[in-house]
Structure 1
Amino acid sequence: MRIVIVGGGVLGTMHAWHAVRRGHDVVHLEREAEARGASVRNFGLVWVSGRSGGPELATALRARQLWEEIGAEVPGVGFRGNGSLTLVRTKAEWLVAEAAAAAPDAAERGWRLLDAEQVRAVNPALRGDFLGGLHCTLDGAVESRVALPALRAALAPTGRYTWLPGREVRAAGTGSVRDDTGEVHGADAVVLATGAALGGLVKELAGPVPVRRVWLQMAQTAPLGEPLATSVADADSFRYYPAYDTESLRTEQPQPPVAAEHGMQLLMVQRLDGGLTIGDTHAYAEPFPFDEVEAPYDHLVEVASALLGRPLPRIERRWNGVYAQCLDPAAVAYRREVAPGVHLVTGPGGRGMTCSPAIAEQTAEELSW
């Protein structure tokens, strides 16, 4: 088959990966010179631990396996199975972690509850004040800023992969795609993996879709000066991920005002250069702000420093981003045939980097590639 994929982010790139691996010819179009959306503006986390039970967890577990296989084949993606620690500092937070560790699927998720001494044995860089942490041995990370070029470089020698950046698609239908240079690309199948870009051609073909856009702020610090052995989260992540029962936390321990206003959790992962990516916030009401505000960064620095037990290295870069989130809680992504042979795949939300290898594999299987 000849497959045309529109969108150079991680979801589009993973569709290209699976298509080429199945022996098909792929033309991969991206409107920018390089992907610049949510696929590179994220933590690079492969986050299994907090996923809701059922299809979401199954998809994340399969994706974790695929990331490990891809990482072994393409070292440039920077995959490491470093695990994560969600640290708890109060009794209410401890009870949430304790219940999670006792859940029937705790072993499947790689969960175990550690006291403070055990946390420091797993991750000696954490020298702050906390009661313990929920350890997830299955969580991992990749280098989101370099993973996509590394994957494309691995596909190029096959002779079945053509990367065409700087091409905006103007028309897609049965058997062909036309880009803004006027070139027409023949296609047996077309995948629109356009992320949060839901206007233009996507709107023309699909109309309104049950997908919302989410805006967030993040930052990266100077090198920590020592290894951060695991990714780290604070207990506000319990409020954000669906795997946890947080009713008591919501009633007994309201979030600090800044964290509540900006829908915050602390996630922290060390890059291969030693710096720390920290975040994040969530905003759902459009139009989104065009400026970043300092109060969330102040909160992140305060919490991260408290868990590390020393000042966080200075922030060197700040950014914001927008991702697409499917509104159906039972769906991991929104997948729909919007014209004969043209499939829109979008809306994985904050699961995009984690789940994209498995989402793309599901597309390939559903379409009998």
Structure 2
Amino acid sequence: MITTPSLTGRRAIGTDAGKPSARPPFLLCRNDHRILGHGRSHTFGTAGDAADALRRETVPALVGAIPFDVRDPAALWAPDRLEVSPGPWQPAGEAALPRVRVQAHEPAPTEHRRRVAAAVTALRDLDVDLSKVVLARRLSLRADTPLCPWALGAALRAGDPAGSVYVVDLSAAGDTGTLVGASPEILVRKRGRHVSAHPLAGSAPRHPDPAEDAQRGAALARSAKDLREHAYVVTAIADALAPLCRRLQVPPEPELTTTPAMWHLGSPIHGELADPGVTALDLALAVHPTPAICGTPTLAARDHILAAEGPRGFYAGAVGWARTGPDGGSGEWLVTIRSARVDPDGLGAQTWAGGGIVADSDPDAEVAETSAKLATVLRALGLSAGAAG
């Protein structure tokens, strides 16, 4: 186990202040290691302020969450202690999950279909500067008794032991909720000079029959629509990282990757930084938001999303950690998908799913894709995939 020493002598602030046995405000669990951020010594109002402090080594480490729209408040802070341990998180003694029901579809599947159709019309208009946009829908959930975010994290971990689970207290952003999820997508990872990313774009639902499942994966791998959608993402990330790297390796074509619920097209990207002092948070902000969760061109897609959906908060943002060090430091950030925000009383929660829309997207297929993606959180809560609508 590696720990970063206390950043200041001040008492930690936040929900765990003065409660040694309380849960830490930050957990990120990968299949081979886990990160815990204990306490808070300093919080930052924006991702830019946090990145500046880390780059100048005003603080040795940062953890938290970046919102979809980086103009919104971030939930980023310097922990009193950053714990980096080998091996996955092994949940123990978590509370039982309460009965949960879907309270509202925001929007209803029929309205989401209409939004997708309107986006396709815009994408086909040669006078509109938009090539791809990612549209999402949200479910509002209601629990009979308080839902513990850590219990939901444990259920997500049980559903996909190879996945990446996170539990993040959002109070540093003035949000009283907790962000919980199981992301399959690495936005960016840094180890000294080495940087990597593994964008996912282009998806298909899994099927319980192995033969049908394999056919779906094979169809995804040769889908012209999905390959084009994926190429937008890879090009954008490569263009963002190239000026920071002296070497960058981008695969010529994507590979298939899976979660228990979905097939995805993925492209592992690797590079060597020209300046090892560029932090993992700098790298995350250089590539976020990618066309995988926003669209392209970025600003036009973002404006379309905000007009159609309203603010997303931390959905389709990033969660992660970064620290400095003599070798240039390290860190990793995951895309905030397959996630839920749990209300402070535990009785309410919200979960989202989206899909990339291009000119030849099928609105009915896009609705089905969001339903399949929503199944990750719904099944963890004991609901059927059909509850997504």
TM over 0.5: no
More relative contact order in 1 or in 2 (CA 8 Å, sep 6+)? 1
Query: Which range, TM-score by smaller chain?
Result: under 0.3
Q: TM-score, normalised to structure 2's length?
A: 0.23
- Determine which structure has the larger strand proportion and give its number: 2
Task: With the length of structure 1 as denominator, give the TM-score of the two structures.
Answer: 0.24
More helix by share: 1
